[in-house]
Amino acid sequence: MCGLPPHVSDRVDAPRGPNLSAPTPASPLAVRYPTAFVTGASGGLGFAFAELLLERGVRVWGTARDAVRLDFLRGRSGFTPVVLELSDGHAVQDAFERAADEAGGAFDLLINNAGYGLFAPFAAHDFDAWERQLNGMLTQTMRLSHRMLRRWLRRGPGSGAVVNVSSLAAEFPIPYMSGYNVVKAGLSAFSESLIFETRGTDVIVIDFRPGDYRTSFNRSMSATAVFDDQPRLQPIWRTLEANLQTSPAPMRAARDLERALLRGRSGVVRSGTFFQATLAPFLSRFAPLAWRRAAMARYFGAT
């Protein structure tokens, strides 16, 4: 998610100085994906993705709405900051095209991660707020993927990867986050479409579905939260807060994604706690929809 920089404990240690007596061999990840474009690199999962890629020797172009937010990565060897405002489609395209030219014509890896949450009853917000969320997080993600695939087509045969950071909310919608749920379900459907279209090529598409991670996601969301119906919303908000406080650090998600990229296969990758990423999806396959809805209501303390 695109938010404030994560806690220091969420970051990997900075790399030590090089061993001047011998060249450092390139990591398997850098060999397969020498260059990467990561949206929402200023905090949370995006920051962890960017840090891990840099640690592995991948050259990273990372984006944020404000260049100051990228100060935590600025100066790192191999990192290039990119100012990207997802509300402006033409600006998104122009910024990406400039960065791709800098990278040598095309990136080897695209991680569509930028996004944010809106917590409110659907009718409580002006519809413009929901429309902006869908445009920024879904439409512009599709635009970036479109530009990337176009460049790969011009480049000719070769490998590459598109990672769309969806969410387990695509399978288990979060109450009072309708826009976020729609975006994540849409990203998963979009990924599935690309997986089919890229069959038989060296392009892989990963639908990456994280659960709760210890980031600033809720702190960023709280500024726009609307609690019109206090008795119903407060228990759900408390559950969201409690889940984030006890969830894993973002670097775990980055390592899960690294393993998926090195496998070199398209598909769905779930990441998070055993309950969220493994047990709940497995059990939901066999549960009737009414049972799943009841379990979700109980889980969030909804009455």
pTM here is: 0.88
Give me the mean pLDDT over the 294-300 stretch.
88
CA–CA distance, 160 with 149 (Å, rounded to integer): 9
Report whether pLDDT(14) > 80.
Answer: no
Q: What is the mean pLDDT of the chain?
A: 88
**Tokens read off for 107:** 């990136």
Lowest mean pLDDT among 14-18, 29-33, 76-80: 14-18
User: With helix as H, strand as E and coil as C, how does the chain read?
Assistant: CCCCCCCHHHCCCCCCCCCCCCCCCCCHHHHHCCEEEECCCCCHHHHHHHHHHHHCCCEEEEEECCHHHHCCCCCCCCEEEEECCCCCHHHHHHHHHHHHHHCCCCCCEEEECCCCCCCCCCCCCCHHHHHHHHHHHHHHHHHHHHHHHHHHHHHCCCCEEEEEECCHHHCCCCCCCHHHHHHHHHHHHHHHHHHHHCCCCCEEEEEEEECCCCCCHHHHHHCCCCCCCHHHHHHHHHHHHHHHHCCCCHHHHHHHHHHHHHHCCCEEEEECCHHHHHHHHHHHCCCCHHHHHHHHHHHCCCC
Q: List the domain range (segments joined by +) for residue 255.
A: 26-299
The end-to-end CA distance of the chain, in Å, is: 29
Confidence tier at 234 by pLDDT (50, 70, 90): confident
Q: How far is CA 84 from CA 66, 68, 187, 208, in A?
A: 8, 12, 19, 22
In a domain, 30, yes or no: yes
Predicted confidence (pLDDT) per residue in 70-120, tens digit: 988 888 899 999 999 888 899 999 999 999 999 999 999 999 999 999 999
Q: What is the CATH number of the domain that holds 44?
A: 3.40.50.720
> Mean per-residue pLDDT for 188-212?
96
Residue 161, strand partner residues: 109, 204
Residue 178 lies in a domain: yes
How far, in Å, are 33, 286, 295, 296 from residue 172 at the CA level?
32, 14, 10, 8
> In 3D, which of 18, 40, 9 has the Cα closest to residue 163?
40
Find, among 200, 222, 210, 186, the residue nearest to 273 by Cα: 210
Check pLDDT > 60 for residue 22: no
Is residue 1 assigned to a domain?
A: no
Rounded Cα distance, 238 and 18, in Å: 46
Q: How many domains does the chain have?
A: 1
pLDDT given at position 243: 87
* Lowest pLDDT segment from 43-47, 253-257, 267-271, 284-288: 284-288
Residues of the chain above pLDDT 90, percent: 66
Query: pLDDT tens, 128-174?
Result: 999 999 999 999 999 999 999 999 988 776 779 999 999 999 999 99
Question: pLDDT tens-digit profile of 219-231?
Answer: 778 767 787 767 7
Helix axes 127-134, 178-197, angle to 10 degrees: 20
Least confident range of 38-42, 55-59, 199-203, 222-226: 222-226
For residues 11-31, average pLDDT:
59
Is the pLDDT confidence value at 4 over 80?
A: no
Whether 50 is covered by a domain: the verdict is yes
pLDDT given at position 75: 81
Residue 16 lies inside a defined structural domain of this protein:
no
More confident residue, 16 or 123: 123
pLDDT on residue 196: 97
pLDDT of 180 higher than 70: yes
Q: Give a yes or no: residue 14 inside a domain.
A: no
